[in-house]
Amino acid sequence: MTETPPAPAADRGRLSSLTRLWPFARPYRGLVALTFVGALLATLTQLVIPLVTEAVVDGPIADGDRAGLVPLLALALGFGIAEAALFFLRRWAMNISSLQIERDLRDTLYQRLQRLPIAFHEGWSSGQLLSRATSDVSTIRRFVGFGGVFLVVNLVTCVVVGALLLLTCWPLGVAVLVTTVPLTFFGVRWEGRYNAQSRQVQDQYGDLATDVEEAVQGIRVVKSLGRSGLVFSRYDRKAVRLRRLELEKVRTLALIWCLFEFHPQITLAVLLVGGALAVSSGALTVGGLVGFIALFTVLLWPILSLGFLLAQAQETASACDRIGELLDAPLTVTDRPGVRPQPVGTPARLRFEHVRFGFPGAGGPVLTDVDLDVDLDVAPGETVALVGATGSGKTTMTALVARLLDVTGGRVTLDGHDIRDLPLVQLRTVVATAFEEATLFSMSVRENVTLGRPDAGDDQVAEALRVAQADFVHDLPWGLDTRIGEQGLSLSGGQRQRLALARAVLGRPSVLVLDDPLSALDVHTEALVEQALRDVLAQTTALVVAHRASTVLLADRVALLEGGRITAVGRHTDLLAEVPAYRALLSSDSELAGTAERDR
């Protein structure tokens, strides 16, 4: 599996990545605004309490005026109730908006993963995608639903309270401001470090998730090879690295917290000394000092929480970067602008016209060992078998038909239309593919078979199952409604292949692409499938990758793929007689010997 693509250097350590969230927040801007307003007002009502305290100390308490207490206490109570109501409003608006934003982000990400080309998915490990789609999205939700609001509100509170402190008694206010200078300096320095560390931790989580996923999926291989210990130690090394990274992160976080915890205590000490001096010199009343300190205590929570909130903001910024890498990955296989459905017959003519294809190498558009350069014309209703040595590019060539990969030169046409001029939805309806590896989903048998054609009727499903010799499904506990385990593990390889074949032949597509779909079947079942498949192949255009002579015999013509080029096309018996390379490829097939004898 590929390692994580590194984060673009420019994006590291920047809170500006948080602006990526705006498109998701915009639809809920009313609620978001309500959240901020509610939180701000609630905080501002807190500020009234110190002012009332000051008034109580300097007024009714100093004058012994009990009656004077009543209006002031009523005022304090009123503001207390208002604060509670605003608290409710904020929680309500904040939770609704953050959950909506999370849902939208999840959906966008999922759709993006679906639309990204196969080439993208081949370059990314599934654990990295999984951790982005789950833990990074949750990190963002936590920030949107909590941290983000309080970060802004607390900063605003700091500014407002700072101004009030200056107004109340400017020398003490200046003293408070001066103590924030080292706070800001070290804060900014450590935040940058924390961001880099949290990105590393998140990436490492992705790598671990990949390991767990591969270990679970490949459990049979691992067990059968007796390599559980080896796989474990590989995992453990990564887990140890994660622990080290987490510890480094925690160390930085501890420093940040320590700083933000320590700062108010120091400031309070400065205030008490300075305040005592101010009161004794008559520059400030006792009530004024009590009010000033009460006002300063309003700052305690905002300052204390800033360390934590900034850390959360940094983690969210790297989550945004990581998700952004998926959202920004280019959609290379997309509909051309203005494409319209084209008339495509059933069966259709499939042509590869001077088609070229190469996988981009790691260092740019360098071609790896498969470098296709093919011409092939499959007439409507014809079946062409694609034969070639392993690794000769057969799967690659079949992937071009449904645009799972896009040609890098030339074109593939259906009834004369370049397939890139067809909407992808239409193309993938008229072209059906069964792959080498039969992938089934955790759904019922029926849902698995009708995945490409949800509107298929029961008759069509029954017909497809018959063609694929998949009648065994009727013997399953709940027939077609039986749920298949993850990846169909509860079915045998041959059973899975037959279901995948049924899925491909369902609804009689215009072009059928079969990538060695019968490899897991026993000779008897294979013969039955071939017999039934003959009817289907008669009515559709088909490109069938074949390794075995028996599959080749299903085809009208055979194309031999060698070194990325089609070196011979013709009838099976002719190629066998005339092309030594073809003979060599199929000669080990004992079945073929008999066939060849018979055909002569």
Ligand X SMILES: Nc1ncnc2c1ncn2[C@@H]1O[C@H](COP(=O)(O)OP(=O)(O)OP(=O)(O)O)[C@@H](O)[C@H]1O
Chain residues in the site for ligand X (CB under 6 A)? 122, 359, 368-370, 388, 390-396, 436
Find the shortest distance in angstroms from Cβ 581 to ligand X: 14
Give, in order, the Cα–Cα distances in Å from 210 to each of 36, 100, 180, 235, 439.
39, 28, 44, 10, 19
Task: Collect all residues with Cβ–Cβ distance below 8 Å to 207 and sequence separation of at least 6.
Answer: 3, 4, 125, 127, 128, 238
Among 97, 200, 395, 510, binds Mg ion (CB under 5 A): 395
Nearer to Mg ion, 204 or 392 (CB): 392
Nearer to ligand X, 345 or 391 (CB): 391
Nearer to Mg ion, 113 or 389 (CB): 389
Return the C-alpha torsion angle 585, 588, 591, 596, nearest 10.
60
Residue 390 near which of Mg ion, ligand X, none (CB within 5-8 Å, type-dependent): ligand X
Find the shortest distance in angstroms from Cβ 545 to Mg ion: 6
Residue 392 near which of ligand X, Mg ion, none (CB within 5-8 Å, type-dependent): ligand X
Q: At what angle do helices 523-539 and 458-467 cross, to 10 degrees?
A: 130
Task: Collect all residues with Cβ–Cβ distance below 8 Å to 459 and sequence separation of at least 6.
Answer: none
Nearer to ligand X, 388 or 507 (CB): 388
**Angle, CA of 557, 395 and 123, to the nearest 5°:** 165
Per CB under 5 A, the segment of 102-110, 129-137, 387-395, 570-578 that binds Mg ion is: 387-395
Per DSSP, what are the bridge partners of residue 383?
542
Q: Are 530 and 551 in contact (CB under 8 A)?
A: yes
Find the shortest distance in angstroms from Cβ 395 to Mg ion: 3
Find the shortest distance in angstroms from Cβ 395 to ligand X: 3
Residue 328 near which of Mg ion, ligand X, none (CB within 5-8 Å, type-dependent): none
**How many angstroms separate the CA atoms of 513 and 527, rounded?**
19
Nearer to Mg ion, 122 or 481 (CB): 122
Residue 391 near which of ligand X, Mg ion, none (CB within 5-8 Å, type-dependent): ligand X
Find the shortest distance in angstroms from Cβ 564 to ligand X: 9
Find the shortest distance in angstroms from Cβ 127 to ligand X: 19
Give, in order, the Cα–Cα distances in Å from 474 to each of 413, 445, 449, 471, 481.
39, 10, 14, 6, 10
Residue 388 near which of ligand X, Mg ion, none (CB within 5-8 Å, type-dependent): ligand X
Cβ burial 423-452 (10 Å sphere, 16+ → b, else e): ebebbbbbbbbbbbebebeeebbbbbbbeb
Nearer to ligand X, 207 or 516 (CB): 516
Nearer to ligand X, 281 or 390 (CB): 390
**DSSP 3-state of 290:** helix
Nearest position to Mg ion, beta carbon: 395
**How many angstroms separate the CA atoms of 486 and 468, rounded?**
21
Binding site for Mg ion (CB under 5 A): 395
